[in-house]
A and B are shown apart, each in its own frame.
Chain A
Amino acid sequence: MAKSLGIFVTNPDNFRHVMGITKAAKAKGSKVKVFFTWTGTHCAKKEAEFPALCKLADDVSICLDSYGKQGYDRNDVPAGLEPSKMATQAQHGAIIEDYDCYISL
């Protein structure tokens, strides 16, 4: 059975690693969920490949509160993301609770 991987992203400079790890994990048949929080939410607006990540991973969500605190309009949903994926820290909890492997970047 394929494993599952949760990626928790707080550092906006690590997006290339998020993409690389997600590609590698998907190529091995793993389920991948990515959650961006605090300054990591800049990736949703500043990384050209963010919509591609949303398509590639099984689940991508961002912390709505952090997104607002980083200066973005809470109603301005980043390209590639469903409005329901602008969520809370419960998404981080879901990664820890439900996924086999966990990485913090």
Chain B
Amino acid sequence: MKLFEYTRAGSAADAVRSFGPGTMYLGGGTNLVDLMRLGVAEPDRLVDVGKLPLDAIEEAGGRLRVGAAVRNSDLAAHPLVRSRYPMLARAVLSGASGQVRNMATTAGNLLQRTRCPYFQDVTRPCNKRQPGSGCPAIEGDHTNLAILGTSHACVATHPSDLAVALAALEAEVHVTGPGGDKIVPMPGLHRLPGDAPERDTVLEEGDLITAVELPAPPPGASLYRKVRERASFAFALVSIAAVLDVRDGTVAGCRIALGGVAHAPWRAEHAEQVLVGGPATGEAFRTAAEAELERARPLPRNDFKVPLARNLIVRTLEELAP
């Protein structure tokens, strides 16, 4: 294990100022420390931002601002989150274990890295970890990997549940960095792999997430549902965050985000387009799901995700329809 320097930042600005080559920000450490133990991440320097005063959840003008350092347990338990964004609370609670949620931070959750077994094993090739080394998952173990938005270079999935809910809620990610402050709307934070799977997000070197801002809850009913082979602590085979607004039997609004299917939380825009303005019937839900999944490029061992995602979309919308 490589030696590294550890410092604790006093403020966000402080953290950004001190960022240099080989530096990484450390939040709750629930993923980064694992990756360091595995030799996947080898920072020269860790800047601890987990204890910055960015741990408040505040309401302002109908929006909810969640500090980057808010712990997942606190996020899920917050009365405003529970009452106004129950889908978000449910997504967070479906991830990891109580112990991990007590440590994991909001920003860290968004920036966690894929659990693709090749990525996690430094003795095997992986384009994401070592650009240009190849992607053995495409021919090998891709059971839990992506079916949508994949490239010849990478079929990894983004593992976060929180990010899927935020993609459906159209949250804004507030970032400060060497280039100044900016706002990145979800789901635009995460990238598809393309030719550069080593880049998970659109963030630049030294960028630090300071908060996630939730717009007022969209009208309609919402639900987060996660499918996994055991009842506890497992990454999603497929998950869904859905919001459905039905008026007089017609879909007035709909948002669907899928987890476990792509390199990023996957907004099912094609399905949404098919649905909005049409009837809220099981048949319409199925047509919409199939319109989205026409784009799926499953591999031999993860072809099950196509019917699974289809079923989940249909069933979740049926449950949300009045």
Indicate, yes or no, whether A interacts with B.
no
- Give the B-binding residues of A (Cβ under 8 A): none
